[in-house]
Structure 1
């Protein structure tokens, strides 16, 4: 990503929050046959030191990526959206795109069949807990274990990350409020999740200044 100091995110806790709230990620590997990309859900390991993620891939993606053999890039994409210069009140006529993004690097660890099943079980429970009548792999564990054999579990202990919060921080406060109003409206480029990220960034900036 372009290195713009204003937008660089170094707060590990904020990167973890981004992962929690945006589970669908892209895995990118550089292999002898060229670049390979796949898309899978990742869940943060809350009790791990540093940043650690678990997921699974469907066979034969583990061989396609050479998982466990080399470093991979996992891209977490949070809320993002078009920012019209019409919202800048004459300050600029150049549009932009606001976003919250993290690039995570590490060499995946291949999980045992038993740990992979546990991760799959936890993954289902993680997403089902919001449902009024959650389902679980426990409904038919024998069948679930048979299906699980078509997957390979991975753990990514993040060794470095590159994250950005590009949220109109460079604009005057009154312009940001106009942008927020547009994002929170019913207009063509509305995005309440992106607006929420912008307001969160504002609050963190205010809290930091107060300290």
Structure 2
């Protein structure tokens, strides 16, 4: 990923961004063809691996022992030049993104598989939900496991980009924040907050 120095994301924010935006695009090469799967990935507790699973029919399961690329997209939005104090400007896009490269291995340990599936459910299920995976029929769960290919990606490279108008003056950045805060979209509000945090 092309990352000018002033857009480079610090390591701790990279980990935070993965946790906040876990729905990723996993890209790999199979028989000379690029292939991608959209799926949630969890960062391991030691921050060394990403954990997930493919549907068994997915040909991307053949990526085992190969390097893969996982793309995590954060908030993003259009930045209008009409918001600036001058007409000597052009439109742009502010965003955050993380790329993680690593070696994919298939997980076969039944206990490890079960723990990873529980972790996925507990990560995304609302705390006030009446659904509890611990109470689901064990045989039903075991049957579903036969339809997936659990995997772990040992991270070899992490890089993050946060393009938040850092290449503009403080005055201009504040003007952009003001305009974004007037818009109703979640992405616009999220970018405004990140911009505020970046200039504190």
Taking structure 2 as the reference length, the TM-score comes to 0.90
| Offset of residue 113 of structure 1 | 5.3
- Tell me if structure 1 keeps the 8 A contact 2:84–2:175: yes
Q: CA RMSD in A?
A: 2.0
Runs (4+) of structure 1 exceeding 4 A deviation are 187-190
Equivalent pair of 1:108/1:155 in contact (CA under 8 Å): yes
Per-residue CA distance 1:71-100 (angstroms, 9 max, x = gap):
000001111111111112216331111111
Does structure 1 retain, via aligned residues, the 8 Å contact 2:52–2:152?
A: yes
SS at match of 1:69: coil
- 2:145 aligned residue: 148
Match of 1:209 in 2: none
Distance 2:31 2:5 in 1: 34
- C-alpha change, 1:194 and 1:27, in structure 2 (3 Å) is same
Q: Which residue number corresponds to residue 163 of structure 1? A: 160
Please list every run of 5 or more consecutive structure 2 residues that lacks an aligned counterpart in the other structure: none
Alignment of 1:76-95 (within 5 A): 76-90=72-86, 92-95=88-91
Aligned residues: 198
1:34 Cα deviation after fit: 0.6
Gaps of 5+ in 1: 204-211
What's the offset of the Cα at 1:67?
A: 2.4
Deviation at 1:166, TM superposition (A): 0.7
Deviations 1:15-68 (A, max 9, x none): 10001100100000022141001000011112x1x532111111122x435221
Counterpart of 1:26?
25
Give the C-alpha shift of residue 189 in structure 1.
9.4
Q: Please name the residue that 1:15 is paired with.
A: 14
Measured in 2, the distance between the counterparts of 1:181 and 1:100 equals 19
Conserved? CA contact 2:101–2:157, under 8 Å: yes
Aligned counterparts of 1:34 and 1:190: Cα–Cα separation in 2: 33
Rounded Cα–Cα distance in structure 1 between residues aligned with 2:18 and 2:7: 18
Q: Scaled by the length of structure 1, what TM-score is found?
A: 0.86
**Structure 1 residues 186 and 22 mapped into 2: Cα distance closer, same or farther (>3 Å)?**
same
CA distance in 1, matches of 2:103, 2:69: 9
Whether the 8 Å CA contact 2:29–2:63 is kept in 1: the answer is: no
Q: Is the 8 A contact 2:52 2:150 kept in 1?
A: yes
Partner of residue 98, structure 2: 102
Per-residue deviation at 1:144? Answer: 1.7
Structure with bigger RCO (C-alpha 8 Å, 6+ apart): 2
Q: Secondary structure at 2:116's aligned position in 1?
A: helix
